[in-house]
Amino acid sequence: MDEDIIEFGLYVPPHPHPLLSPEANDGYGRLRAAYDECRKRIEESDADLIIVYSTTWPSIIGHQFQANPNSEWTHVDDDFHYLGSMPYSFTMDAEFAASCVEKAESRGLQARTVNYDAFPIDTGSITALSLLNPDNRLPATIVSSNMYANRSETIVLGKAIRDALREGGRKAVVVVVSSLSNRMFTEPIDPSEDRIHSQKDDDWNRKILEFFEDGRLEDLSQLSREIHGQIRVQKVVAYKPAWWMAATMGQHNNYSGEILAYEALHGSGGAVIQLTPATGSVGDKEFDEDDVEYYKGDREVLNKGMLE
């Protein structure tokens, strides 16, 4: 069962504001508090590893896994450099990263570890790991987001990581670093006046949050192309985080979902969300086809949503 290898999953935003300027806006502060709560939950969990998939680390040569045991530098964001520098020192699990590469290759993917002094870890990964694992209590690895990869490649990547977790007998917290809607304001703003860029973005974000709250991860995965078309600036070929998260955590809808925060980050949709593998929720969701042992009726699927 999935909970053997996945303790829980987190979906967090890539922007540096919760790390560098949480006081600038009440919303940034709430995101920071949500990060802090997740940090505590990780500390109290049985996880022995953190796996980060970052949408702000693009790769071209296949899929890259961060494997520098002591990854240290001072990073500055390209856009938000005026908020300050981001010194970091992260402990990476080189052995697990190598295992992921092996499993990815055995599933037909191009993959490699990266282990270089001064390698530029991205803003999103630094923000997430600095806030979720500040003392390097757990080792981590970071997975790149290949700019040409689409659904099948991304899902196979997630499955390869599951292979590595199973083989190593590991238990991980999975962290996806991504905005919901990713359209930012293209002008400087007063942080106190930050808001979601448009009503449409906000509406879609809230719909996605409903799915997360209901634990419908596989449904979100299935909706990825629609989400990409509706609320993602077309910088890359597809919205991949839900594909990767579902493939890595388990492609079903049996999760307990919790929205810890949802706020604007320079116009984009930033949310801190926890998904925990669960049992007992079969029957009220769409892509939850279980290995049925006893017939329990038609689950009233066709009656749902009908006009009364």
Partner 1 sequence: MPKGEIVLGALAPHPPHVVYAENPPQNEPISEGGWETLRWGYNRLARKLENLDYDAIVVFTPHWQTYVGTHFLGLPRFTSKSVDPIFPNIFRYNYDLQVDVDLSEAMCEKAAEAGLITRMMRNPDFRVDYGTITSCHMLNPKWDKPVITISSNRNTHYYSPEVMIEQALALGKACREAIEESGKRVVLVSSHSLSHRHFVTESPLPEDMSREHIYNHSQYVWDMALIKLFREGKMKEAIDIMPEYTEQTIAETEGGGIIWMMGAMGMPDYPAEIYGYQSVIGTGNCIAAWVPEPDAREIVL
Residue numbers at the binding site for partner 1 (CB under 8 A): 57-62, 74-76, 78-79, 81-82, 84-85, 110, 114, 116-120, 122, 146, 148, 183-188, 233-235, 266
Provide the minimum distance between the beta carbon of 72 and partner 1 in the complex, in angstroms, as a whole number.
12
Tokens (6 digits) for 259: 């929205």
Provide the minimum distance between the beta carbon of 68 and partner 1 in the complex, in angstroms, as a whole number.
10
- Distance, in Å, from the CA atom of 271 to the CA atom of 263, rounded to the nearest integer, reads 6
Single out the residue of 44, 42, 53, 47 nearest to residue 170, CA to CA: 47
Provide the minimum distance between the beta carbon of 56 and partner 1 in the complex, in angstroms, as a whole number.
10
Provide the minimum distance between the beta carbon of 236 and partner 1 in the complex, in angstroms, as a whole number.
9
- Comparison of 187 and 300: residue with beta carbon closer to partner 1: 187
- Distance, in Å, from the CA atom of 131 to the CA atom of 70, rounded to the nearest integer, reads 17
Provide the minimum distance between the beta carbon of 116 and partner 1 in the complex, in angstroms, as a whole number.
5
Please list the residues that pair with 262 across neighbouring strands.
Answer: 271
- Distance, in Å, from the CA atom of 219 to the CA atom of 188, rounded to the nearest integer, reads 36
- Comparison of 55 and 276: residue with beta carbon closer to partner 1: 55
- Distance, in Å, from the CA atom of 122 to the CA atom of 206, rounded to the nearest integer, reads 27
DSSP 241: H
- Comparison of 182 and 276: residue with beta carbon closer to partner 1: 182
- Comparison of 182 and 254: residue with beta carbon closer to partner 1: 182
- Show Cβ contacts of residue 279 under 8 Å, excluding neighbours closer than 6 positions: 1, 254
